[in-house]
Amino acid sequence: MGESMTKKLWFQLGVGILLALIIIKFLVDVKWVFSPLIIISKTIFMPILIAGVLFYISKPLQIILEKWKFPRWGSIIVIFALLTAMVWVAISIIGPPVVEQVNNLTINLPSLINESNRLVISLLEQAGDLPAWLNDGVKSITDSLNDIALNFGKWFVHFFQSVLQGAFVVVLVPFFLLFMLKDHEKFLPFVTSFFTGKKKEWLTKTLKDIDEVLSLYIQGQILIAFILAVLLFIGYSIIDLNFALLLAIFALFMNVIPFFGPWIAFVPALIIGFFQEPVLAIWVAVITLIAQQTDSNLITPNVMGKTLHIHPLTIITILLAAGNIAGFLGILLAIPAYAVIKAIISNIYEVRKEIQKTATQDA
């Protein structure tokens, strides 16, 4: 009876969770021992993350170039030349208007706050004759609007300043990317060389599935974010919205986050449009709706499809939990991390089914 219980999945899962909690508790108690490693990990994490994203973006191009008989070093040179050209375009062509718009936003921030305060006061005065419960609701909404207006500009500027301050990673990112492009085929054989038989087969399949999932997600999500940013920039430029380029670049970063990203990008555009001219807020909403419908009906189905097999409700739940646990970085990494974990668990489940099927046939 004892032996049969230890073979049950729920028992093994419980033991695994218990051991994981004990290990975590031990690591927390002696975290000072690992503080140097933690500092090193934090230092190289972001460059490795950015290099990994660039690797998955440039990997299809490398495959195409090598099919055209380019040697490995030749494909790497072409990729680095293209990336360098893109950086040059961003700095020399896109950079100056972005800097100008950031400066303008900083200058206009006090007037935006004053306009927000006047709007809040006006709404509160008009709400004086409303029922108490409705008056409380209006006050809650206006307080929220006031907080957004007060904090948005500072946070918005801080966002771009943080991006610029993180430029030191430029030194490390090409280094990591070079070795990823040069030796990425060696990773799988190296890891699986420590195993034999069924374990080696399972690990090989699992790592290939993880690579495929990350490739689909990163390439698809970035392409979608880029297309949406271009659509929004065209729309904002047509209605002559202030800070159109800045808002489009902000949307490019935010749209990498499924579901919530487009709404996060929509809020600052709506606020700026309203204070520039109230009717522009309506046009911003229309442009956003058109872009979102284009994405939902044309872009996402054709670019991403249903390859990740993740239910929208699951994505929303994961993003909310990740945001509470790890903030913006958690939101950014939550879905690919979930997809990776799901791929691992799926492969474990397939192996268990195969074992049970074999055991049934032998019986």
| pLDDT tens digits, 176-235 | 999 999 988 888 888 888 888 888 888 999 999 999 888 988 888 888 889 889 999 999
| The residue to which tokens 């927390």 are assigned | 28
Q: Decide if 245 contacts 101 (C-beta within 8 A).
A: yes
The helix-helix angle for 35-67 and 173-192 (nearest 10°) equals: 90
A 10 A CB-CB count for 37 gives 9
Cα Rg of the chain, angstroms:
25
pLDDT value at position 1? 46
Between 8 and 322, the higher pLDDT residue: 322
- Residue-wise burial string across 279-303, b where 16 or more C-beta atoms lie within 10 A, e elsewhere: ebbebbeebbeebbeebeeebbeeb
Q: How confident is residue 75, by pLDDT bands cut at 50, 70 and 90?
A: very high
**Which of these, 177, 204, 210, lies nearest to 57 by C-alpha position?**
177
pLDDT in tens, 241-279: 988 888 999 899 888 887 777 888 888 898 888 888 888
Estimate to the nearest angstrom the gap between the alpha carbon of 157 and the chain centroid: 20
pLDDT in tens, 298-321: 666 665 555 566 777 777 788 888
The answer, yes or no, to whether residue 342 has pLDDT greater than 70, is: yes
Query: The pTM is what?
Result: 0.72
Mean pLDDT, the chain, as a whole number? 78
Q: Decide if 139 contacts 124 (C-beta within 8 A).
A: yes
- Would you state the structure tokens that stand for residue 312, as one six-digit string? 């929208």
Q: What residue segments make up the domains of the chain, in order of their start? A: 195-363
Q: Which conformational region is residue 69 in: left (phi greater than 0), alpha (psi within -120 to 50 degrees), or beta?
A: left
pLDDT value at position 91? 80
